[in-house]
Amino acid sequence: MRSTVLSVSLSLATAFMLHAVPARADQTWIKPHIEACTLERGDTCGADVKCPDNAPYAVNGGGGMPMADPADHRVAMTMNLPVSANHWRVRWRNLGGKETKVKVAIRVLCSDDGSAWGE
């Protein structure tokens, strides 16, 4: 019984490996965009990052905050979205009462396929 199950499993695995799949669009993460900001209460920090000409469509994006001083800050990401076919926007806001120095990094996944944007 065990050899039969193994045989069927190998046959299915081989079938999946030989199955043709459609070509994926060329996608690439662009170099991180870095911003350094000093935020008072309610201030925002961030950027709109544009995709390059060879991959003009923004597919995904996001950001991180590799540095914040003081460490017990109340800075939060308040926006992370595409604002046009080739621009991604990420924003952080100081929700606390203390001045906070931050360094933020934004990355965008860009593609040469505009189908998600109806193009």
Q: Name the residue among 3, 16, 81 with its Cα closest to residue 48.
A: 81
Look at residue 94 in the predicted model and tell me its pLDDT. Answer: 96
pTM: 0.73
Classify residue 95: in a domain, yes or no: yes
Alpha helices by DSSP H, the chain: 2-18
Classify residue 86: in a domain, yes or no: yes
Binned at pLDDT 50, 70 and 90, residue 117 comes out as confident
Classify residue 104: in a domain, yes or no: yes
Classify residue 34: in a domain, yes or no: yes
Classify residue 5: in a domain, yes or no: no
Look at residue 87 in the predicted model and tell me its pLDDT. Answer: 94
Task: Quote the domain boundaries for residue 37.
Answer: 24-117
pLDDT tens digits along 44-69: 999 999 999 999 999 999 999 889 99
Q: For the chain, what is the domain count?
A: 1
Alpha carbons 90 and 73: distance in angstroms, whole number: 18
Classify residue 46: in a domain, yes or no: yes
